[in-house]
Amino acid sequence: MELGWLLWGAAVLLLLHVLMGLSPAVNFALRIGFYSLLCLLASALTVPVCLLVNGGRTVKNMRIIKTVVKTFKYFFGLRFEVKGLENFKVEGPAIIVSNHQSILDMMGLMEILPDDCVQVGKKELMYAGTVGLIIYLGGVIFINRKSTSSAKIVMAEVAKSMATDNVKVWVYPEGTRNCTGDLLPFKKGAFHLAVQAQVPVIPVVYSSFTSFYNPKENLFTSGKIKVEILPPIETKGLTSDDVSDLTDRCFHIMRETLFRLSGSPS
């Protein structure tokens, strides 16, 4: 009986291997399916650990989550080349802004996430099963992107808690995923927050995923991701009148860095 199950298992694995080799669409679907399943299972196993170690919702849980997620890259043959980690070592709170490309960004985030750093995410993530639960326990701040007034209220509360809890806040200023190899125009919320709290902005840039990940082309293979943490941009003395210039400055610096890291013409 056991031999029969082993033979069936071997046959299924062989079939999957053949299908992945023959069809890019099947390869893509299987890899995405495995990634989603891995996220759900890892979250389910990590939730009780976070509860036992830290007792509930706290940014300290991100250390545990980070340790788990950093193993994901080995399943997908991804390598990270990181430069500029010393730029995270600023005194006190800061706003970290980075480009947002795909569902794989979580691996890139956890590869370099500094201690005492919370992320801002869309409210819909709360309902993503065990994944929603684990990021809730990690202290992720949820905003309703469909309600501008609600988002502003949340960000105002974030500004207050930054100083109180001495945390950094990670924001994706594009507001949505963008796997084109370029940047979408930045929303100004993160930069209003930085100016309001008078804290520095730390830009983080990940090279384009398009050489190994492209849903439109059913492409999902192994690859290398270059990451660069840029020097902090100070906001002390700036006012709301300076937010547009600050946003534009950060956008152009990050866009130039993205093209350089990706080996693309500017």
All domains of the chain in start order, with CATH: 2-262 (3.40.1130)
Mean pLDDT of the chain: 89
Q: 121 Cβ partners below 8 Å, 6+ apart?
A: 135, 140, 141, 142, 143
Rounded to two decimals, the pTM is 0.88
Residue 189 and residue 247: Cα distance in Å, rounded?
Answer: 9
- 9: pLDDT confidence band, cut at 50, 70 and 90? low
- 239: pLDDT confidence band, cut at 50, 70 and 90? very high
- What pLDDT is attached to residue 18? 64
User: Is the model's pLDDT at 133 over the cut of 80?
Assistant: yes
Residue 26 and residue 64: Cα distance in Å, rounded?
Answer: 33
- What pLDDT is attached to residue 113? 97
CA atoms within 13 A on the CB side of 56: 0
Residue 158 and residue 59: Cα distance in Å, rounded?
Answer: 13
Residue 266 and residue 176: Cα distance in Å, rounded?
Answer: 22
- What pLDDT is attached to residue 159? 77
Task: Provide mean pLDDT across the span 33-42.
Answer: 94
Residue 190 and residue 124: Cα distance in Å, rounded?
Answer: 19
- 264: pLDDT confidence band, cut at 50, 70 and 90? confident
- What pLDDT is attached to residue 11? 63
User: Is the model's pLDDT at 186 over the cut of 90?
Assistant: yes
- What pLDDT is attached to residue 165? 81
Residue 258 and residue 266: Cα distance in Å, rounded?
Answer: 9
Task: Provide mean pLDDT across the span 66-89.
Answer: 95
- 4: pLDDT confidence band, cut at 50, 70 and 90? low
Task: Provide mean pLDDT across the span 28-55.
Answer: 94
Phi, psi of 76 (to 5 degrees): -115, 5
What tens digit of pLDDT does each residue of 143-171 get?
876 666 666 777 777 777 787 788 999 99
Task: Provide mean pLDDT across the span 200-210.
Answer: 97
- What pLDDT is attached to residue 135? 94
What tens digit of pLDDT does each residue of 92-108 get?
899 999 999 999 999 99
User: Is the model's pLDDT at 182 over the cut of 90?
Assistant: yes
